[in-house]
Structure 1
Amino acid sequence: MAKKPTRTPIALAVALSLGTTTVYAAAGTDASIEDRLAALEARVAAAEARAQKAEATVEQLTASQQTTTSKTRSLGDSSAPSAPSVGPAGDAPSMEQRVAKLEGNADKKLGLTLNGYARAGLLFDDELTGTEGGPYITPAGSVGGAVGRLGNEDDNYAEIVLEHRAEYENGSTSLYKIMLADGVESSNDWTGGDSSLNVRQIFAEFGSLPDFGGPLENASIWAGKRFDRDNFDIHWLDSDVVFLAGTGAGLYDIQVADDWTSNVSIYGRDYGYIGDEGFGDEVESYIFTLNNRIGNWQWMLNGLSAKNNDDRELDPGMLPPDPRADLAEHGAHTMVAYHGESFFGLRDGTYKAAVLYGQGLGAEVKSLGSDGNLTEDAESVRLAVYGTTYLTPSWRFAPSLLAEHSKDRYVSGDSYKWLTLNARVANELSENFEMQYEVSWQTMDLDPQGYNSFNSVDGDYTKFTIAPTFKPQVGGFWVRPEIRLFATYADWDSDLNNYASGNNDVKSLGTNGYTGGEWSFGTQMEMWF
């Protein structure tokens, strides 16, 4: 039987334009040729737009599939993927079928994708000289006490994330991710000598595995070096609420009950060497995690272990006048958090609240397992709360609170108490311009007992920033990129200048004449995609 000639929508449109109207007359249609041509042209335009949207993804996916197929067949695997299927008569898939398939793959973000974050800018005082900055500039910053970051950052930082996602014929999925990051404070165009370029993540994750059933039916398995998927932060303070990272493996989304999923994992970290670095035994730390999500609640349990950590020698400059307490070799940590779907039940928006407690190695309650200098008696409790809402159609409001009390942290008898209140406000004035404002207040009472040559201080810090901001389009808390100009005024109690006096390695208040009542100015871009 002769094969029917096929016509693409474009060919049909050309035929119509040449006067092939008898086809439709024979069919007895009532619609005019102009109506049919307009409808056909609309379909062609829509199909072309849909195809263009998926084109880049398809090319990446096709190249990936061909590479995978070639490698698999070269190994003699009879299960190698077959060529794309065709119609019953051997015809190529129709345009509609191809576009539908391409759109589906695009929605799943299959193939290679690029994501990133970056900030860069200038920070100077009223005499056009460089000045101090950063959300951890205060004495409390040495133990995680951040203040507002708007108009207070003097570094250039960038992250590049490459992801490759694939879906297999049996329904399984895979994710491969690598993340590169670098941060410097130099304003020069070439900063190779100051670079801290680092591979922060490199891991693989598999999901929708047919071999998994029961509670594991929707689970995914991963291994490598990564940030835990369920970390979350207070962006306005550049502070994670909880940050779990390292090299290890785990299972996500074990279905314990209808509204209850659990993650289990192990992460490894290094604390240094016993004896001379590179010659002694290395002290390794391990974090065992059970992270539960029950509805909007999150309950995290962690156990930490670092065998022989107490035998590790500290830098003599970090030791207090009296003999130090024993370094911790074990620890425990827990967090209870609530992820709200309104602004504290008062209006539309979001909020998150968390209480964290840690003992021993778990007393670094934010960056789990990152501090090997904690004593076996160390204890910390932290409270974190923040929310986001629109007060009016053009005014955004995001308040936050972060507070912590730790004791016996590095020295028996030491104590660190601090509390930060912060609010970021924005007024959207046009499609491309908004005014941002931020006020931050922190109070602290720190008694380090001579650890790291720090002195006891007690006082408050206050900062206010105004930042005219340009965007391609305004419209939300997380819309980027932004280009900002800013002016910041900061003031603090003079006692805080004494915290790091004599310690030239610590950037803090009181250094380089930075002693309170200071204006700073600058410009900054921030983006993520």
Structure 2
Amino acid sequence: MMMKPHYLAVAIGLLLSSTAQGADTSASAIEARFDLLEKRLQLAENRAATAEARASEAEQQVKKLETRTASNEQQTRQVAKRAEVTQQQTAEVAKKTETLASNNSNDNSGFKFSGYARSGVIMNNSGTSTESGPYVTPAGQTGGAVGRLGNENNTYVELNLEHKQTMASGATSRYKVMLADGQRNYNDWTGTTSALNIRQAFVELGSLPTFTGPWKDSTLWAGKRFDRDNFDIHWLDSDVIFLAGTGGGIYDVKWGDNLKSNFSLYGRNFDDLTNKQNNDTLIENYIVTANNFAGPFQWMVSGLRAKNNQERENSGTLRNSNAADSGYHTMLAYHGDSFYGLREGTSKTALLYGHGLGAEVKSLGSDGYLISEASTLRLATYGMTPLSKDWSIAPAVLAQQSKDRYISGDDYKWVTLNTRLIQKITDNFELAYEGSYQYMDLDPQGFSNNNKVKGGFYKLTFAPTFKVGDISNMLSRPEIRFFASYMDWNKNLDSYSSSDSFGTDGFTAGGQWNFGIQMETWF
């Protein structure tokens, strides 16, 4: 058997070591030692081989462990990636759920009932009936309103029923119908004098998922309605702009973060007429409108068309071959979130111009007697602000000039100044004060047998008022008010018309007192 070199060296070293120590040097002893040494060497070699085998096996196990570790790391990365995707999907589902919940919350899906009403009794200082109304002056025939507080004797009611729903896709729908009635009869049963009417009946479709780009959040509508973006001066009971009729359109076409447009087509009708074929018909007036909003600014542009309008009767006695069959209208408005930039509150200002059929600048498209040359310019502005913890004020200005309105050469000029003050007494009781002044210079050129007049009108009202809502909010309702109003005007205004209020029996210049009680509510 051959020994490996390093084992031989060990053996020789042991032998020499034994010799050096004086061990037994006989041949038999040496041979015995060599046998013992050989056995020890064989045992060491076996142990070394076993160690090498174990080392090789350990190395293979390490390689296997490294392979498993790499595989586990890859699987861990895949699991982490799947977890990230799952987390993202969960977030998207949560966002959609939140959006649907928000839509349901904001849209109040289901039925909704809302309304407006005012009703009261009014009398003069003799305890008899009297004339009243925001349009009581001669200028009222062309929209010249005066203060309404303590100056209304009618019952007017609006009842609104709506149904809203949000679909699983996020799309929404809204149906609304408005029932309205207005009259001056004080009786409990007024069927014979009722003016009951369906004023609105329309459907809106919004948030349609197939609409993208600027149309994404737009709302389609069709039916009979008041335009959504009409606004008014409540203290005068006068709209700044009132667009209404039957038609269709789209709201909120968004061109940018602060730029959007509304587009609509409304149809209206003028009075009956008998045409050349002796067939009763209606003149149809169509109004196409683009209403544009840029932040607080609003620019509205409308075109009007009423074919054959010149064939209808004008002023009740004459056919006017010059009656307008088209026209245009525009309005520039500013909707402020402060009181004219001076203090907290709100304010709105609008400048309106119309020509031809557009010369009725407030109730757009409602006046078929306008002639082709008619032009009207109107300014409207009002605001509200608290003066202190217990006082609030709401001033308003409404002014208009309309030329060549019904007859070439006519001229209607008027301006109304109005202010309402509210003084809080308790959380449920306030004192309301209102002052109005209107100057008018009217030259109708004989239209409808009216006469040229000019002069001023004023009204002062004191109204103790009870409320249950926020007493500091000038527009919170309901409220019940008692009132006393004094009004007077220049005497020559009594001669403007034989069919208006001024100059009638018991209602002439020289001072008039009116007293009464009224409720007003909206919700």
Residue 475 of structure 1 deviates from its aligned partner by 2.5
Distance 1:190 1:415 in 2: 43
Structure 1 counterpart SS, 2:387: strand
Q: Compute the displacement of 1:101 (Å).
A: 9.3
Distance 1:287 1:278, change over 3 A: farther
Instruction: Report the Cα distance in structure 1 between the residues aligned to 2:321 and 2:462, rounded to whole angstroms.
Output: 45
Q: Is the contact made by 2:359 and 2:370 (CA closer than 8 Å) also made in structure 1?
A: yes
- Is 1:521–2:520 an aligned residue pair? no
Deviation at 1:444, TM superposition (A): 0.2
- Provide the aligned length of Structure 1 versus Structure 2: 424
2:503 corresponds to 1:510: yes
Partner SS for 1:373: coil
Output aligned runs, 1:38-117, within 5 Å: 105-117=104-116
- Determine whether 1:394 maps to 2:390: yes
Task: Describe the shift of the 1:464–1:106 C-alpha distance in structure 2 as closer, same or farther (beyond 3 A).
Answer: same
Aligned pairs for 1:254-333 (under 5 A) are 254-275=253-274, 279-314=279-314, 316-317=316-317, 319=318, 324=320, 326-333=322-329
Alpha-carbon shift at residue 325 of structure 1 (Å): 5.9
Report if aligned partners of 2:268, 2:366 keep a CA contact under 8 Å in 1.
yes
Deviations 1:139-170 (A, max 9, x none): 00000000000000010000000010000011
Normalising by the residue count of structure 1, what TM-score does the alignment of the two structures yield?
A: 0.78
Deviation at 1:280, TM superposition (A): 2.6
Per the alignment, in what secondary structure is the counterpart of residue 383 of structure 1?
strand
Higher helix share: 2
1:142 counterpart SS class: helix
Query: By how many angstroms is 1:512 displaced?
Result: 1.9
Q: CA deviation at 1:108?
A: 2.8
Match of 2:347 in 1: 351
Q: Distance in 1 between matches of 2:316 and 2:329?
A: 29
TM-score (structure 2 length as normaliser): 0.79
> SS of the counterpart of 1:169?
coil
The Cα of 1:283 is off from its aligned counterpart by 1.2
Distance, in Å, in 2 between the alignment partners of 1:464 and 1:441 is 9
Q: Distance in 1 between matches of 2:313 and 2:417?
A: 37
The structural deviation recorded for 1:196 is 0.3
Q: Which runs of 5+ in 1 are unaligned?
A: 1-97
Q: CA deviation at 1:441?
A: 0.1
CA distance in 2, matches of 1:172, 1:255: 17
Contact 1:325 1:410 in 2 (8 A): no
Deviation of the 1:207 alpha carbon: 0.4
The CA deviation at 1:106 is: 4.8
SS in 2 for 1:316: coil
Offset of 1:511 from its aligned partner?
1.2
Larger radius of gyration: 2
* Cα distance in 1 for residues equivalent to 2:483 and 2:273: 47
Distance, in Å, in 1 between the alignment partners of 2:313 and 2:112 is 44
Question: Following TM superposition, by how much is the alpha carbon of 1:102 offset from its aligned partner in structure 2, in angstroms?
Answer: 8.6
- How do 1:3-42 and structure 2 match up within 5 A? none
Q: Distance in 1 between matches of 2:350 and 2:415?
A: 15
Tell whether the 8 Å contact from 1:325 to 1:411 is kept in structure 2 after alignment: no
In 2: Cα distance, 1:278 partner to 1:402 partner: 43
Retained in 1: the 8 A contact 2:107–2:165?
A: no
Partner of 2:368: 372
Is residue 484 of structure 1 aligned with residue 481 of structure 2? yes
2:347 partner letter:
Y
Give the superposition deviation at 1:393: 1.1
Match of 1:465 in 2: 461
Checking the alignment, whether the CA contact within 8 Å between 2:357 and 2:368 is kept in structure 1 is yes
1-side partners of 2:239 and 2:155: how far apart?
19
Question: Which residue of the partner structure matches residue 52 of structure 1?
Answer: none
Q: Take 2:210 and 2:349, find their aligned partners in 1: how far apart are those partners?
A: 37
The equivalent residue for 2:330 is 334
Aligned-residue RMSD, C-alpha: 1.9
Out of 428, 437, 442, the residue aligned to residue 432 of structure 1 is 428
The equivalent residue for 1:30 is none
Match of 2:240 in 1: 241
- Superposed, which structure 2 residues align to 1:196-207 within 5 Å? 196-207=195-206
Give identity over the alignment, percent.
54
